[in-house]
Amino acid sequence: MQKITRRSIVKGGLIAGALVPAFGLVGNAPAAAALPALDPNDPTAKALGFVTDATKVVASANPTYKPTQKCSTCAQYQGKATDATAGCNIFAGHSVPAAGWCKVWAQKPGA
């Protein structure tokens, strides 16, 4: 009969604890790609002035808007700047186009 030591239990727990988040990241990649596109007529999207093309923003109605702002340069955008669409922290469960814009836009750190 083999004894299980406290050291082996702690070691196994630490290894398992380190691997669980890694599996979560791998498992979320396909799910993120399968997010449905945000409908501009969604009540939250309308309230935040969401548009699928930032060049179509009415600047007079959105005084904080600048032509360089778009979803791909926003801190809330969950994809890479080169991704055509990605998830958004503001519109959970939906993807937004990289060229889109909303009133919650905030500069991505380091960009």
pLDDT in tens, 80-105: 889 999 999 999 999 999 999 999 99
**72 compared with 33, residue with greater pLDDT:** 72
Which residues, 6+ apart, have CB-to-CB distance to 68 below 8 Å?
none
Answer yes or no: pTM beyond 0.75: no
Q: Please check whether residue 98 is in contact with residue 70, taking contact to mean a CB–CB distance below 8 angstroms.
A: yes
Locate 13 and state its tokens. 């727990």
